[in-house]
Amino acid sequence: MNTIITILIIATGTSIMNNGDKTGLWLEEYAVPYMKFKEQGFEVTVATIDGGVVPIDPNSLEGQKPEWKEAMDTLNTSVMLKDVKSENYQAVYIPGGHGAMFDLADDKVVKSVIAQFADNNKIVSSICHGPASLVGVKLKNGKYLVDGKKLVSFTNSEEDEVNKSKLMPFMLESKLVEQGAIFQAKANWADNVVVDGNLITGQNPSGSASIAEAIVEKLKKK
């Protein structure tokens, strides 16, 4: 009998930035992978730090598609991350949205869960601002998870282009490089996904389908 593949998605719970602007999850980065995972018959659990409704960045609603409704409905009832057992999942995926910079970047439970996946040779995947969750994650060997790893995230150049750099608690690309990441950016808004072993990362929303396909491919090989 085939084992059902299970994926944990960790989403931001932050809806407001420090200046009062609305933020949250970037919808495409959640909905496109979610639908691709479900097409494969994977089981998906959505978690946030505090549970409950996942806020959606209003700017990301402009590109929503009717077929995303199922995915959007699941954002009404996320579970609390502290109640999740990482051993029940084969992969973790962290979508972006500027909200991730404000909660996923410095939460101890987030760091612990991601480290558990990495230390057990499971897939850790993330896109855009989602890799803020990887900042500060340390493995059992004491090294940063990103140290020596090829990866990508929303770039400093892209942050500058959307005029959000001064609103961020830190520049994500710079912080990942500071912790030893081998950053592999492409041009602004390029569909760019980087795979380094069990670490799969994407640069921006245009890579939403590509990162989902890379995760599916890796899971099918395990």
Q: Is the pLDDT of residue 77 over 90?
A: yes
Domain locations along the chain: 6-221
Q: Could you read off the pLDDT of 132-169 as tens digits, one per residue?
A: 999 999 999 999 999 999 999 999 999 999 999 999 99
Over residues 100-129, mean pLDDT: 98
Q: What local confidence, expressed as pLDDT, does residue 137 receive?
A: 98
Q: What is the largest CA-CA distance in the chain?
A: 53
Over residues 205-219, mean pLDDT: 98
Q: Are 151 and 183 in contact (CB under 8 A)?
A: yes
Q: Could you read off the pLDDT of 29-45 as tens digits, one per residue?
A: 999 999 999 999 999 99
- 193's CB contacts (< 8 A; 6+ apart) are 152, 200, 201, 202, 203, 207, 210, 211, 214
Q: What local confidence, expressed as pLDDT, does residue 133 receive?
A: 98
CATH homologous superfamily, domain 6-221:
Class I glutamine amidotransferase (GATase) domain (3.40.50.880)
Q: What local confidence, expressed as pLDDT, does residue 82 receive?
A: 98
When pLDDT is cut at 50, 70 and 90, the band that residue 1 belongs to is: very low
Q: Which helix (H) or strand (E) holds 210?
A: helix 208-221
The mean of the pLDDT values for the chain is: 97
Task: Provide, rounded to the nearest whole percent, the portion of the chain with pLDDT above 70.
Answer: 99
The torsion region of residue 70 among left (phi > 0), alpha (psi -120 to 50) and beta comes to alpha
Q: Is the pLDDT of residue 78 over 50?
A: yes
Question: In 3-state terms, what secondary structure has residue 141?
Answer: coil
Q: Is the pLDDT of residue 9 over 80?
A: yes
pTM of this structure:
0.98
Q: What local confidence, expressed as pLDDT, does residue 3 receive?
A: 83
| Chain position carrying tokens 């499971």 | 122
Task: Tokens for 164, please give them.
Answer: 């959000």
